[in-house]
Amino acid sequence: MSVLQKSAIAGIGFHVPERIITNSDLTQWMETSDEWITDRSGIKERRWIDHDGGASSLAIQAAKNAMEDAHVLPEEIDMVICATITSDYFFPGISAQVQEALGLNHVGAFDIKAACPAFVYALSVGDQYIKTGHSKTVLVIGAEVQSTALDISTRGRDTAVLFGDGAGAAILKPSDNESAILSTHLHTEGKYLKSLWCEGPASKFNPRISKEMLEEGRQYPYMNGREVFKNAVKRFPQVIQEAMDANELTMDDVAQIIPHQANLRISQAVAKRMKIGMDKVYSNIHKYGNTTAASIPIALTEARNEGKFQRGDYIILAAFGAGFRWASAAIRW
Ligand code: COA
């Protein structure tokens, strides 16, 4: 049997819009308060796009930053995987725009629609392409523009205050040293589909969205916050433990957990359940809110830049979100 080629993250980067929306800014559009949002989520501000560029515009800039970090030229990239639920258009997905804007060769490029854990899903797919020898330089992006999808009014306040826009990217390359994506773990439980979803526009309906649906707000995300919270605090520890068990690691071996930035209270509950301090669980949600598929690569880049982990350290990426889906990746940096 041939030995599979390990892959490693050769470079990372992110990009967020310049426009900062503070909790106080939100009070001009809805009945809410800085206190309610901070207490429930830890979020103080988020970035909302101020032009009509869509998720691709953020993805392209994040990709450029990751390519520079990895010292990779456009002609070297031979696969593009974009994780997003907020593509610029209904189809064909933002990866086609990324390929064109970055001047890449006519390589494979596709989108993954797996909500908050989508970056870990995309990383897992990219890892398989390198392991099997199919690809040599994979560009993986998580990018979202959530602000144009939200009901920015008192009716939509339970979700509108939580989400932000942004993008993060990673370059995967074969590794001939200790740095590697050691394992990835992906899970789904579709019975909770309607606990966190956006119903339309949808192929299930003809027309895909009606005046009645628009009036009822069925084009906006719906979330059963308590159901999400309950499941997230159960699944995060499970999938982090799964990543450690698969690699015979204990929590003492792990330098940093980089969780999807869903909610500070979720991260705190996970830390408590796993009996670790918050110094081991990275958080930047106060600055960006929940940026869905972009949150992990943004957090990963900021944690690396802040020196939270060094070359040779073990880190674990972990996510939970719509589907419900949850996922983790154990990485030797
Ligand atoms: N500002 C002020 N009040 C708000 C509000 C807002 N933005 N959003 C909702 N409320 C009100 C509700 O109308 C409700 O009022 P009522 O009691 O008079 O009916 C009340 O606040 C609900 O409060 P509570 O039940 O205490 O909310 P909660 O503790 O369940 O917190 C969430 C709500 C959404 C913050 C919480 O459920 C949560 O964090 N869930 C997980 C969400 C998440 O991480 N999603 C991302 C998934 S990847």
Q: Ligand 1 centre from 152 Cα, in Å?
A: 15
User: At residue 200, does pLDDT exceed 80?
Assistant: yes
Residue 285 Cβ < 6 Å to ligand 1: no
Q: Do domains 7-177 and 182-332 have the same CATH topology?
A: yes
- Average pLDDT (210-227) is 96
Residue partners of 186: CB distance under 8 A and separation at least 6: 117, 120, 121, 124, 325, 327
Please give the number of the atom of ligand 1 that sits closest to the Cα of 226.
37
Other beta carbons less than 10 A from residue 195's beta carbon: 18
- Average pLDDT (248-253) is 98
DSSP element (H, E) containing 236: helix 225-246
User: At residue 314, does pLDDT exceed 60?
Assistant: yes
Considering only CA atoms, which of 90, 114, 100, 322 is closest in space to residue 207?
90
Q: What is the DSSP letter of 6?
A: P
Return the pLDDT at 4: 86
Q: Per-residue pLDDT tens for 58-68?
A: 999 999 999 99
Q: What is the DSSP letter of 2?
A: P
Residue 89 Cβ < 6 Å to ligand 1: no
Q: Per-residue pLDDT tens for 121-164?
A: 999 999 999 999 999 999 999 999 999 999 999 999 999 999 99
Residue 160 Cβ < 6 Å to ligand 1: no
Please give the number of the atom of ligand 1 that sits closest to the Cα of 290.
46
CATH T-level topology, domain 182-332? Peroxisomal Thiolase; Chain A, domain 1 (3.40.47)
Return the pLDDT at 51: 81
Select from 22, 40, 233 the residue to mutate for testing ligand 1; criterion: most ligand atoms less than 8 Å from CB.
40
CATH T-level topology, domain 7-177? Peroxisomal Thiolase; Chain A, domain 1 (3.40.47)
Return the pLDDT at 52: 79
Tell me the catalytic residues.
Answer: 116, 260, 290
Q: Ligand 1 centre from 33 Cα, in Å?
A: 12
The mean pLDDT value of the chain amounts to 97
- Average pLDDT (224-235) is 97
Contact 93, 87 (CB under 8 A): yes
Q: Hey, where are the domains in the chain?
A: 7-177, 182-332
Confidence label for 2 from pLDDT (cuts 50, 70 and 90): low
Q: Ligand 1 centre from 229 Cα, in Å?
A: 10
Residue 32 Cβ < 6 Å to ligand 1: yes
Q: Per-residue pLDDT tens for 84-96?
A: 999 999 999 999 9
Select from 23, 43, 44, 158 the residue to mutate for testing ligand 1; criterion: most ligand atoms less than 8 Å from CB.
158
- Average pLDDT (167-188) is 97
Q: Ligand 1 centre from 88 Cα, in Å?
A: 29
- Average pLDDT (99-122) is 98
User: At residue 1, does pLDDT exceed 70?
Assistant: no
Return the pLDDT at 45: 98
User: At residue 203, does pLDDT exceed 60?
Assistant: yes
Going by CA atoms, what residue is nearest to atom 37 of ligand 1? 225
Proportion of the chain above pLDDT 90, given as a percent: 98
Q: Ligand 1 centre from 291 Cα, in Å?
A: 18
- Average pLDDT (67-76) is 98
Residue 296 Cβ < 6 Å to ligand 1: no
Return the pLDDT at 155: 96
Residue with tokens 């970035």: 47
Q: Per-residue pLDDT tens for 24-61?
A: 999 999 999 999 999 999 999 999 999 878 999 999 99
Please state the three-class secondary structure of 251-277 as a single string.
HHHEEEEEECCCCHHHHHHHHHHCCCC
